[in-house]
Structure 1
């Protein structure tokens, strides 16, 4: 593994690829019809919308393009890292994982992900999270990586615990209710720090 100087975090590299656990994590391409279509399906999926309320809702192709370009801008300015989760053998898109709100001074960020409905139940989220967390807490130079999910989202709770993100507490009224921007709900906060032991992921 690359030696990391903890006092000088490296900015995200948009061309970086992560490999492991049967996955290849690579960049999204706004010029690819397949990529945009997968992004649109991911963000319009009813299960995604049950647990997430983005500041800008994605409803159509144009919205998906704008959302992808916004993510790319964040990668360019160093505030986030965005990965397309793919199957290492077929190259097919499985979902998305991002390291967001990167603070290079405090060396902290938040991780979030979504998985396409047809590949859920195969451990994709756990494997992608383990791979991304290892990179963020070593190569990217972060000390702390947080994961928050809406209260009641038990699947996300299990994934976080499995990947070495213990539950730290409940943040009251910390995110929008599903489909609303005038009502708030509580969030479970999980986090992993660089000195935590590496979890074993099948």
Structure 2
């Protein structure tokens, strides 16, 4: 668990053309459209119909407890209201622990536009700025071996391929690629 005072003094992650903020109740309706995407459901653990409100409350509780820091990723064009285009998370953060994990997903209509890379870069920078003094030295990113797009995002964001990890059904049904980024 991480003290909430650490988080209040840290800058908020930001990325060009995107707004990253903790999940909140107003995100529930937007989740309905994004979480129905079969490709996204294949690679990400997202809430099913009827579970979205609880899922958002769980994200809010995790943030308040300092155990998981999930961000809604919103695209904020100048001429329109912000819309949900993805999510990014920092998890497995422990005071004095040398490593944590990151994960992300992108809505179908936002893929191929650099949303995942921009959001991951922002949260990576935020994580090291916020938790380096508490011992954070590296971030780990894990994706299924057949997710070539995630491999490209990891490489673009400076996460070096480390090794293949064996599957762990049901949560991780296929072997995975582990990528690591060390703090500078």
TM-score bracket relative to the smaller structure: 0.7 to 0.9
Q: Which residue of 2 aligns with 1:107?
A: 98
Q: Which residue of 2 aligns with 1:198?
A: none
CA contact (8 A) 2:13 2:125 kept: no
Distance 1:16 1:81, change over 3 A: farther
Counterpart-to-counterpart distance in 1, 2:31 and 2:83: 13
Question: How many residue pairs end up in the alignment?
Answer: 175
Distance 1:9 1:134, change over 3 A: farther
Matched, 1:124 2:118: no
Q: Which runs of 5+ in 1 are unaligned?
A: 1-7, 196-202
Please provide the CA RMSD for this pair: 2.4
User: Displacement, 1:183?
Assistant: 8.2
Matched, 1:191 2:183: no
Mean Cα deviation higher: 41-50 or 15-24: 15-24
Counterpart-to-counterpart distance in 2, 1:103 and 1:160: 23
Q: Secondary structure at the match of 1:105?
A: coil
Q: Which residue of 2 aligns with 1:25?
A: 20
Q: Which runs of 5+ in 2 are unaligned?
A: none
Q: Matches of residues 1-202 of structure 1 in structure 2 within 5 Å?
A: 11-13=6-8, 17-30=12-25, 32=26, 35-52=27-44, 54=45, 58-60=47-49, 62-89=50-77, 90=80, 91-141=82-132, 142-174=136-168, 176=169, 181=170, 184-195=173-184
User: Displacement, 1:42?
Assistant: 3.0
Structure that is richer in helix per residue: 2
Distance 1:12 1:81, change over 3 A: farther
User: Displacement, 1:51?
Assistant: 1.9
User: Displacement, 1:22?
Assistant: 2.1
TM-score w.r.t. structure 1 length? 0.77
TM-score w.r.t. structure 2 length? 0.84
- TM-superposition CA deviations, 1:110-132 (whole Å, max 9, x none): 11111111111111001111111
User: Displacement, 1:10?
Assistant: 6.5
